[in-house]
A and B are shown apart, each in its own frame.
Chain A
Amino acid sequence: MNSGDVAWILVSTALVMLMIPGVGFFYAGMVRRKNAVNMIALSFVSLIIVSILWILYGYSLAFGSDIMGFTGSLNYAMLNGIGIEDLKGLEIPHMLFVIYQMMFAAVTVAILTSAIAERVKLSAFILFSVLWVTFVYAPFAHWLWGGGWLAKLGAVDFAGGMVVHISSGFAALALALVVGRRTGFEEYSIEPHNIPMTLLGAALLWFGWFGFNGGSALAANGLAANAIVVTNTSAAVAGLVWMIIGWTRGKPGSLGIVSGAIAGLAAITPAAGFVDVKGAVIIGLVAGVICYAAMDFRIKKRIDESLDAWAVHGIGGLWGSIAVGLLANPKINGYAGLVFGGSQLITSQLIAAISTLVYAFAVSLIIAKIVDATVGLRVDPQEEYVGLDISQHEEVAYT
């Protein structure tokens, strides 16, 4: 056991935990005042539900002994056999790895609440979350990090470009299509009610992302330092891209600036342990452009994936996952992308990105339809009109 490693991953766990309410604040500022409490509450509910599931069987499905490359077994259910001894090949306790990974799962569920903003029952969201972690998140974590079929194929995902961002982004798109548009979408303007709150959320996300990507080195070492530097670089570049696009179209809105930064963060996530700072600049640059284009496309297609998890996280994560195969520098972590003469990595990254994308979209669509058919996804029109704060929580954000 290495006390430096342990300290860093303990801190990283706390950093990633803070991203969860961070997502809540980020989203809550973008909805109307009558739904602000609900939006923040959904992120806490994500943390609560996933924390319990992870202990019960989630961790085991993700990291338990392999069953046909698709899922882990239940050998770690209720954290059976997991103690404070070192995890194999690392110098941190197994128990610490469990809770660090738990926070990843919880923030992923929080991200996909973008799709249900202002119109979905809390009970339906809880049911969806349970099914989604079981059938989408845990398998993905196993496929890429738990020795599953994509890991065997040679695909890499440093901190969750596929496991977290493709999964939540494409799940959000599927969920939004099943839920349908908010009442009044495009009929009258649905304005963000509190931009400073969104900026606060973005600040917590950016801050937490150092633990998300830096912690994914699973040690306090040079790789962690590289991950943090490239993470910050990509965020800044993509934020700048959105600022410039905003300027060319009128004024550089702060909402666009921070959304761009989040796109850069999502895109660098799978690559943070493989690319150098030059690669990070390219990743941030492209992420800024394509995530903005994806948002434009969504608006043009009149899809109410309300807070753009798909455009920002889904597309950002997709680009970043492919970018690993192009830009990975062997000096960082031994993996060589196309630019550095490695031809194998791009193939496995493409297969992994496309499989996770298709699976996340399809299975999330099925789960959403099941939830809709059983408990019903949407609140009734009157409840939607009054707002979810009162109808779901009997509270108001601003008295």
Chain B
Amino acid sequence: MKMVIAVIRPEKLECVKKALEEKGFVGMTVTEVKGRGEQKGIKLQFRGREVEVDLLQKTKIEVVVSDKDVDEVIETIATSARTGKFGDGRIFVVPVEKSIKIRTGEEII
């Protein structure tokens, strides 16, 4: 079992949600975050003066899936969140030891 964490453009959230749902991945946790990548945010030029927008608004999606589905989820998120420009975000995969459903106490290992 793995957790796929994607940090994406906020405006791409609906697109990604829809794409995942079409593939049968419904459950997710979404958080509004701020972050920066290798470009250190965005530099705006004002008549010779530079304004650095260091941390940009992003959206983080967390999806827990079985090992066999990881590649499909990564592919789905990457395709639906991509614009081809700097700032499209990143995807991380981390191992998950347990998943417990609170209502029933059911445990998935």
Q: Which residues of A contact B (CB under 8 A)?
A: 33-34, 184, 187-189, 382-383, 385-386, 390-391, 394
Contact = CB atoms under 8 A, between A and B. Distances in A.
Given A386-B56, A390-B51, A390-B53, A189 B44 contact: no
Interface of A, secondary structure class, is helix
A382 B57 CA distance: 14
Contacts of A184: 11
Interface of B: 11-12, 14-15, 42, 44, 51, 53, 56-57
Q: Which of B15, B44, B51 has the most CB of A within 10 A?
A: B44
Nearest to A383: B44
Given A382-B44, A386-B42, A391-B44, A188 B56 contact: no
Contact of B42 (A33, A188, A382, A394): A382
Nearest to B87: A385
Nearest to A385: B42
Nearest to A386: B53
23 contacts: A33-B57, A34-B57, A184-B11, A187-B11, A188-B11, A188-B12, A188-B14, A188-B15, A189-B14, A382-B42, A382-B44, A383-B44, A385-B42, A386-B42, A386-B44, A386-B53, A386-B56, A390-B44, A390-B51, A390-B53, A391-B44, A391-B51, A394-B51
Nearest to B46: A391
Given A33-B57, A188-B11, A385-B42, 5 more contacts: A187-B11, A188-B12, A386-B42, A386-B44, A386-B56
Q: Which of B11, B12, B42, B56 has the most CB of A within 10 A?
A: B11
A30 to B, nearest CB: 16
